[in-house]
A and B are shown apart, each in its own frame.
Chain A
Amino acid sequence: MNIYRNKKVAILFMLPALVFVILFIYYPIIQNFIYSLYRWSSFSEVKVFVGFDYYKRLLSDPIFYIALKNNALYAIISIVFQVGVGMILAAVLEEKIMRRYQTFFRTVYFMPSVISITVVGLLFQLVYNPNIGLLNAFLKVVGLETLTHDWLGRSDTAMFAIIATSQWQYIGYIMLLFLVAIQKIPEELYESAMIDGANAIQKFIHVTIPQIKETILVTSIITIIGAFKVFDEVYVMTAGGPGRSTEVLASYMYRAGFRNDEMGYAATIATVIFLITFIVTLIQLKVSKEKNEA
């Protein structure tokens, strides 16, 4: 028998992984969808089939749209700052004159991402504190007293304050991914571009970016998916408030499930989160497949 085409053996090798994937990924996804079709509570055994009622309710729920908007805001700002600025930071650190100091900056920028989100959340609650916070104190010192603000306590700035925290925490991580990608680019390409007459910005546009396209795509996807799954930062810092101004899908799901005890509705929101991240992943797969074929 051809040892390279023995399907039975191949399946046997895949079986353990397959069992885990089915048990802990596919089954919960399907189960969650089924739950979303019932009205049920964690305190009773009764499940009432309601069909797609919860989906209809979700579509006319204003909080859902606030959450969706906040998630989208999260994603857009994260793409600009974490991916965009992270990439530029990496390119700057890879510049000849900066390389000597790279280890220092790399460590400094990366450090926040190893701190627990809860700790970072509490830390920034203090930073944003209107009375004893660093931010307001700093603004006062530099004479921008008019800008001082109850950052987390006001609905117009609370969401941005949370998003800003998240940028601070993860920009170093994304930057590190870009550093690795940039370091893989052969030095001769830059030298060749230099002789061809490219300045630093042109080298970045014509050499660096085309060479790290894959990393840009991957980090963008990670960031978008992360933005639609975000929960901890919001829960720790504002728990969705003030009012519902910082509600995101995940925090709304939590509220529906564990505060209001509407498990079916929570499952519906979970399904929507899954669909969004699933679609984003499909786009990524399609784009990177096209790229590999080109």
Chain B
Amino acid sequence: MANISLRGVKKVYPGNVTAVRNFNLEIEDKEFIVLVGPSGCGKSTTLRMIAGLEEISEGEIYIGDVLVNNVHPKDRDIAMVFQNYALYPHMSVFDNMAFGLKLRKVPKEEITKRVKSAAEILEIEDLLDRRPKALSGGQRQRVALGRAMVREPKVFLMDEPLSNLDAKLRVQMRTEIAKLHKRLQTTFIYVTHDQTEAMTMGTRIVVMKDGDIQQIDTPQNVYDYPANTFVARFIGSPQMNITEGLVRDNDDRIEIVLSEDTIINISQEKEKLLKEKGYVDKKVLVGFRPENLHETEVDELKSHYSTINATVEVSELMGSETYLYMNKFGKQIIARVDPKSKKRSGDRVELRIHWDRFHLFDIDTEEAIK
């Protein structure tokens, strides 16, 4: 158990390719940190630097209070779970799990005890004699988790551990890993490109892009208060609608003109903010999530709501909800509405959105206005 501290960490690969730029993060003991971002954002590289599999070009990494920049992976007291499991094919499940302990000269009875108890937690007791080849993907991932567990490390590192599993198994393992974290009471650092995994598992999320941290916060805050348009689009599915709007002062009320027929109001706090920051008569980016758009024929919402009128191009019935795709403000707008909606392609639709639900971003920096 340990807190981890990354200070000004940088990774430059030969050929002057910068994978990670100035990464600063303080991870508390027992936290479940998720590094999330698209391919090539540097999340895996960061994890591998913590593991000691990649050299740190600049900056410092502390595990506990120990500077580990030049500490060998085996002495960092970490365990890692790989995307493709990395089980030793010639060893049985038991030997796979015991290997690290054997190398560390842990007494035999202790090894057996720990492997048995980990196998019990992961429900793989019956598989201990099998070779990895004879296991399914889900079982292999459990063995990989078990191999990490028996080491009783200070930190668990997981590099996209669920990416090779099918959709159903992924959901199941997701909850199991979250449960495991509660049970083991250890620091977890988890890398994924899947925003759902990030939202559901992490106590805090680190959103990365092109080697830079975009935002570090709890899942709820990242969702509710995205720091910039990238985070806003990356977290949430379907992704947030973002369009340009002109801020206008209309008799002491601040409005935003999205198009000739769509003028929205925003909460008073945000009105104040726009005034103070001098955004009046300037363009801003306005974001709103598909799930916050409500269809008036289903939900009758009046006060504190703005209206957007559009024509449905495609409607997708998902069962629990319906996605409406519309062309508005010169781009595609998605609304996630109640499944009771009868709107089909070609229908006019009136959508309402609560003033609080608008996200405002600076048009140049794309940073949230706050």
Q: Using a CB–CB distance below 8 Å, which chain A residues touch chain B?
A: 186, 188-189, 191-198, 202, 206-207, 210-211, 213
Given A191-B53, A192-B82, A195-B80, A211 and B99 contact (CB-CB distance below 8 Å): no
Q: How far is the CB of A27 from chain B (nearest CB, A)?
A: 43
Among A186, A194, A211, A213, point to the contact of B73 (Cβ < 8 A): A194
Name the interface size band of chain B.
20 to 34
Task: Report whether A206 and B88 are in contact in the complex, using a CB–CB cutoff of 8 Å.
Answer: yes
- Mark B80-107 against chain A: 1 for CB-CB distance below 8 A, else 0: 1010101011110000000110011000
Among B73, B84, B100, B147, point to the contact of A188 (Cβ < 8 A): B84
SS class of chain A's interface: helix, strand, loop or mixed? helix
Among A186, A194, A207, A213, point to the contact of B74 (Cβ < 8 A): A194
Q: How far is the CB of A170 from chain B (nearest CB, A)?
A: 28
> How far apart are the CA atoms of A196 and B100 in the complex, in Å?
4
Q: How far is the CB of B141 from chain A (nearest CB, A)?
A: 13
Q: Is B158 an interface residue (CB 8 A)?
A: no
Inter-chain pairs besides A186-B86, A194-B52, A206-B88, 17 sampled, C-beta below 8 Å: A186-B84, A188-B84, A191-B51, A191-B80, A191-B86, A192-B82, A192-B86, A193-B99, A194-B73, A194-B74, A196-B99, A196-B103, A196-B147, A196-B151, A197-B74, A198-B103, A202-B103
Task: Report whether B80 and A192 are in contact in the complex, using a CB–CB cutoff of 8 Å.
Answer: yes
9 contacts between A and B (CB under 8 A): A188-B86, A191-B51, A191-B73, A191-B82, A194-B53, A194-B72, A197-B74, A210-B90, A210-B91
> How far apart are the CA atoms of A195 and B74 in the complex, in Å?
5
Q: Which residues of B contact A193 (CB under 8 A)?
A: 88, 99
Q: Which of A195, A198, A210 has the most C-beta atoms of chain B within 10 angstroms of its own C-beta? A: A195
Q: How far is the CB of B137 from chain A (nearest CB, A)?
A: 15
- Mark B49-84 against chain A: 1 for CB-CB distance below 8 A, else 0: 001110000000000000000001110001110101
Q: Which of A186, A192, A193, A207 has the most C-beta atoms of chain B within 10 angstroms of its own C-beta? A: A192
Minimal Cβ-Cβ distance residue in B for A210: B90
Closest 10 CB pairs of A and B: A196-B100, A188-B86, A197-B74, A210-B90, A192-B86, A197-B103, A188-B82, A195-B73, A194-B73, A195-B80
- Mark B37-54 against chain A: 1 for CB-CB distance below 8 A, else 0: 000000000000001110
Among A189, A195, A197, A213, point to the contact of B88 (Cβ < 8 A): A189
Q: Which residues of A contact B51 (CB under 8 A)?
A: 191, 195
Minimal Cβ-Cβ distance residue in B for A190: B86
Task: Report whether B84 and A197 are in contact in the complex, using a CB–CB cutoff of 8 Å.
Answer: no
Task: Report whether A195 and B103 are in contact in the complex, using a CB–CB cutoff of 8 Å.
Answer: no
Among B78, B86, B103, point to the contact of A189 (Cβ < 8 A): B86
Q: How far is the CB of A211 from chain B (nearest CB, A)?
A: 7
Q: Which of B51, B52, B86, B89 has the most C-beta atoms of chain A within 10 angstroms of its own C-beta? A: B86
Task: Report whether A197 and B100 are in contact in the complex, using a CB–CB cutoff of 8 Å.
Answer: yes
> How far apart are the CA atoms of A197 and B151 in the complex, in Å?
11
> How far apart are the CA atoms of A197 and B80 in the complex, in Å?
12
> How far apart are the CA atoms of A211 and B84 in the complex, in Å?
17
> How far apart are the CA atoms of A81 and B318 in the complex, in Å?
66
Task: Report whether A210 and B88 are in contact in the complex, using a CB–CB cutoff of 8 Å.
Answer: yes
Q: Which residues of A contact B151 (CB under 8 A)?
A: 196
Among A191, A206, A213, point to the contact of B99 (Cβ < 8 A): A206
> How far apart are the CA atoms of A191 and B72 in the complex, in Å?
12
Minimal Cβ-Cβ distance residue in A for B104: A197
> How far apart are the CA atoms of A197 and B90 in the complex, in Å?
18
> How far apart are the CA atoms of A39 and B80 in the complex, in Å?
73
Task: Report whether B74 and A211 are in contact in the complex, using a CB–CB cutoff of 8 Å.
Answer: no
Minimal Cβ-Cβ distance residue in A for B90: A210
Q: How far is the CB of A208 from chain B (nearest CB, A)?
A: 11
Q: Which residues of B contact A196 (CB under 8 A)?
A: 74, 99-100, 103, 147, 151
Q: Which residues of A contact B84 (CB under 8 A)?
A: 186, 188
Q: How far is the CB of B110 from chain A (nearest CB, A)?
A: 15
Q: Which residues of A contact B74 (CB under 8 A)?
A: 194-198
Q: How far is the CB of A22 from chain B (nearest CB, A)?
A: 39
Given A195-B73, A197-B100, A197-B103, A211 and B90 contact (CB-CB distance below 8 Å): yes
> How far apart are the CA atoms of A196 and B74 in the complex, in Å?
6
> How far apart are the CA atoms of A189 and B53 in the complex, in Å?
12
Interface residues of B in 153-173 (CB under 8 A from A): none
> How far apart are the CA atoms of A196 and B96 in the complex, in Å?
10
Minimal Cβ-Cβ distance residue in A for B74: A197
> How far apart are the CA atoms of A162 and B151 in the complex, in Å?
53
Q: How far is the CB of B49 from chain A (nearest CB, A)?
A: 13
Q: Which residues of B contact A210 (CB under 8 A)?
A: 88-91
- Mark B222-249 against chain A: 1 for CB-CB distance below 8 A, else 0: 0000000000000000000000000000
> How far apart are the CA atoms of A197 and B72 in the complex, in Å?
9
> How far apart are the CA atoms of A181 and B50 in the complex, in Å?
30
> How far apart are the CA atoms of A207 and B96 in the complex, in Å?
12
Q: Which residues of B contact A189 (CB under 8 A)?
A: 86, 88
Minimal Cβ-Cβ distance residue in B for A198: B103
> How far apart are the CA atoms of A186 and B104 in the complex, in Å?
23
> How far apart are the CA atoms of A194 and B74 in the complex, in Å?
6
Q: Which residues of B contact A191 (CB under 8 A)?
A: 51, 53, 73, 80, 82, 86
Minimal Cβ-Cβ distance residue in A for B78: A195
Q: Which residues of A contact B104 (CB under 8 A)?
A: 197
> How far apart are the CA atoms of A191 and B88 in the complex, in Å?
11
Q: How far is the CB of B92 from chain A (nearest CB, A)?
A: 12
Q: How far is the CB of B90 from chain A (nearest CB, A)?
A: 4
Minimal Cβ-Cβ distance residue in A for B157: A195
Minimal Cβ-Cβ distance residue in A for B14: A100
Interface residues of B in 310-355 (CB under 8 A from A): none
Q: Which residues of B contact A192 (CB under 8 A)?
A: 80, 82, 86, 88, 147
Q: Which residues of A contact B80 (CB under 8 A)?
A: 191-192, 195
Q: How far is the CB of A186 from chain B (nearest CB, A)?
A: 7
Interface residues of B in 295-313 (CB under 8 A from A): none
Minimal Cβ-Cβ distance residue in B for A294: B131
Q: Which residues of B contact A198 (CB under 8 A)?
A: 74, 103
